[in-house]
Structure 1
């Protein structure tokens, strides 16, 4: 049994308990990853969020001409500045921007865009140079360089399924749906000596790392201070509250990842999008306030993105798959700017926005300016985006 196959069986626990014999605790110790004091939290919006109805070019008449059934009126949008404004459900995103803690990166995408959810997500998660297929994620490759051997809690994915972005050669991340239930149970086994069988010893080593990861998570939850913020009751809020607890409990993970679905708005977009954006707004703002009260906002960078935007013209009920869209960067001492030009609705590629900023430039900035790591080492050749931090 090789390492990859073993991890496919044991590396992900979305609920319940892992039952392992006592002998697995006898081998080695696991130190938390300690590189500086920065971490990055990713919030992935699955389904293709409509960027034009999220950060809105409300002074461009082509916006209203292209979207007669779903455009937000000039009276509805909020915090207008330089022709752009937020969806009314994102009132707290506007507050974070006014506080100087939120940067908007406009027209983010990549050349030769793909409109398939699965493939475009894969491209964002692996960051290939020329859309080649890669088996490892960009964050997994980063963690392979940064970790000694393997460190199971260097990356934490709060979800019910693994995320390709965190997949590397070594098991440096754990996917867990409910950290409160991610515990280990031990069974009696006195086989505490190395067996002399390399394959068995390898299995013991990997399984021990999973146990250590569970122990580290539980220890961080116990050490974490109680939140002074009342998180709203939705799935993303719960996930971000868990991440906040782990950060405050000194888990020292460098990367946290979670996701939110429901953004594939082909039909009934106005109501669906309003609800999804409100959930996003409330969850992220609660997390933001939690970190601020704990005096940790400067140490944590929050990245909100989707695999693509929507087409410029509506379809009469909603919008179909498009290309470029805004990204939002919160905390981490970002400069609180709007980076990039407003969407150019008069110069389209077959009805779609033309991207101006490559998402890999954003990744390069995060790696080099927040994680003190050269993006070139993992095959990202794009220059870091200027003006973000």
Structure 2
């Protein structure tokens, strides 16, 4: 891989902080007491949660669309120029098991670009969780339009809704991520020194915790740190290649004076303030972790091919990290990957075709790799996004919405089923009874019927969090019917 000087320095700085956020680097004052008081956990099995974040807000209503004659006509009437051809949908139709049919009795299909994921659904490895979104409590159209119940702050805002999806706390703007809170609870479960939370997409709210720091990797491996600046221009950085080259150690020429100054900055006991101590601790930990990871990766191979895409490369790196889990002493891991370009205000048909094809192929490859490693039941991947998009269209795109459908993939998934209530796809019309669509806010956004809290808590329960832990990590989940178990995990 060729990296220019500016990009190298950026990546090296991330490595120096080991992916740790300022929130954690400054050592939240609760850290020591929390770590001391934490329950000791020990697991005899291995489980990994893999969050695939679709940045920008995915349009669910073309991701999964009805293809039977009656319901396709309704969908096409509302979606107009954005409606996918019925013939293409029919060839990608889903075959849910009895008892797992969609709530409205319609026949649904995945987007035509998602053939690989459709195949996994029809063999029981994928579940569709319908109409998920951020909620303070259940709310109806009447309650929303008349302000009778609270709604999450700054609905339809990318930043706010991303934070609420990743924290599962629409009532607390400063909350840590729910993945981070789970990792904090299980901080003692892993025997190795590597953090439980691994991000392939930089710092994120989902993995922010008080005890466990995020550790940032690139799809080409763990970054090293050089005291000297590289020469101007491009240069080659050998790294992790999921097709089988394996990682290689690399060094850059370092000026002796700079090296001495760098070592002095991170030497223990010589720092005069909190920032210096945080830098020294994070940098030393990052160097130790990078050395550990790259040593474990030497000679590591996977026969499963991954697509050469952004998401494919990230998930390939996740798969390799899972493969070396035993040598790293890991029994629980939380991974975060993300891709963008889902904010489809325009050219949606073209952009979504590319986006969803990438998602489908990469998720299928991750599942195939888990089967190859004999750990199919221990790896669960799930999608998340800022919000769904509007049912109403905006020329050749859609606007920011609210509720949307999501996928859960893995051997432990009770797949080939729909969970939750599919929303009506009829166009909003004030002249009609119930405005034509009681699921619509009145502006084209669909009101969620499953809370992010329920979706997230079901995943956390599978990961090993008990009922008491669920109540601590997801304090609002009791407001919703069914609480923290939607039933889509074995």
Larger radius of gyration: 2
Q: Which residue of 1 aligns with 2:431?
A: none
Measure, in 2, the Cα distance between the counterparts of 1:341 and 1:178.
Answer: 37
For 1:114-137, what per-residue CA distance to the aligned partner results, in whole angstroms no more than 9, with x for missing partners?
Answer: 111111001011111x53212421
Q: Which stretch shows the higher mean deviation, 168-177 or 278-287? A: 168-177
Measure, in 1, the Cα distance between the counterparts of 2:279 and 2:447.
Answer: 49
Change (3 A) 1:333 1:193: closer
Q: Which residue of 2 aligns with 1:25?
A: none
3-state SS in 2 of match to 1:180: coil
Structure 1 residue corresponding to 2:485, chosen from 360, 385, 389 = 385
Unpaired segments of 5 or more residues in structure 1?
Answer: 1-5, 14-32
Deviation at 1:11, TM superposition (A): 3.1
| Contact 2:156-2:387 at 8 Å conserved across structures | yes
TM-score where L is the length of structure 2: 0.68
Measure, in 1, the Cα distance between the counterparts of 2:167 and 2:15.
Answer: 19
Measure, in 2, the Cα distance between the counterparts of 1:355 and 1:269.
Answer: 22
| Contact 1:136-1:164 at 8 Å conserved across structures | yes
| Contact 1:220-1:245 at 8 Å conserved across structures | no
Q: Which residue of 1 aligns with 2:122?
A: 98
3-state SS in 1 of match to 2:448: coil
Change (3 A) 1:141 1:68: same
Alignment of 1:222-261 (within 5 A): 222=298, 224=300, 226-250=301-325, 251=328, 252=330, 254-261=333-340
Alignment of 1:2-13 (within 5 A): 10-12=17-19
| Contact 1:142-1:378 at 8 Å conserved across structures | yes
Q: Which stretch shows the higher mean deviation, 311-320 or 341-350? A: 341-350
Measure, in 2, the Cα distance between the counterparts of 1:229 and 1:297.
Answer: 13
Deviation at 1:7, TM superposition (A): 9.7
| Contact 1:105-1:327 at 8 Å conserved across structures | yes
TM-score where L is the length of structure 1: 0.84
| Contact 2:16-2:287 at 8 Å conserved across structures | no
Measure, in 1, the Cα distance between the counterparts of 2:291 and 2:299.
Answer: 12
RMSD of aligned C-alpha atoms?
2.9
Q: Which stretch shows the higher mean deviation, 91-100 or 282-291? A: 282-291
For 1:267-287, what per-residue CA distance to the aligned partner results, in whole angstroms no more than 9, with x for missing partners?
Answer: 111111111111111111111
| Contact 2:16-2:283 at 8 Å conserved across structures | no
Structure 2 residue corresponding to 1:342, chosen from 422, 427, 430 = 422
Measure, in 2, the Cα distance between the counterparts of 1:318 and 1:73.
Answer: 16
| Contact 1:70-1:270 at 8 Å conserved across structures | yes
Structure 2 residue corresponding to 1:145, chosen from 163, 185, 192 = 185
Alignment of 1:8-19 (within 5 A): 10-12=17-19
| Contact 1:90-1:278 at 8 Å conserved across structures | yes
| Contact 2:19-2:214 at 8 Å conserved across structures | no
Structure 1 residue corresponding to 2:81, chosen from 65, 69, 73 = 69
| Contact 2:127-2:419 at 8 Å conserved across structures | yes
Measure, in 2, the Cα distance between the counterparts of 1:207 and 1:104.
Answer: 41
Structure 1 residue corresponding to 2:465, chosen from 352, 361, 372 = 372
Q: Does 1:156 align with 2:198?
A: yes
Structure 2 residue corresponding to 1:294, chosen from 353, 373, 382 = 373
Deviation at 1:317, TM superposition (A): 1.0
Deviation at 1:215, TM superposition (A): 2.6
| Contact 1:227-1:290 at 8 Å conserved across structures | yes
For 1:234-289, what per-residue CA distance to the aligned partner results, in whole angstroms no more than 9, with x for missing partners?
Answer: 11100000000000011425100000111111111111111111111111111111
For 1:71-99, what per-residue CA distance to the aligned partner results, in whole angstroms no more than 9, with x for missing partners?
Answer: 11221111244421111101111110111
Measure, in 1, the Cα distance between the counterparts of 2:79 and 2:112.
Answer: 17
3-state SS in 2 of match to 1:209: helix
Q: Does 1:134 align with 2:174?
A: yes
Measure, in 1, the Cα distance between the counterparts of 2:292 and 2:48.
Answer: 17
Alignment of 1:192-231 (within 5 A): 204-222=280-298, 224=300, 226-231=301-306
Q: Which stretch shows the higher mean deviation, 179-188 or 299-308? A: 179-188
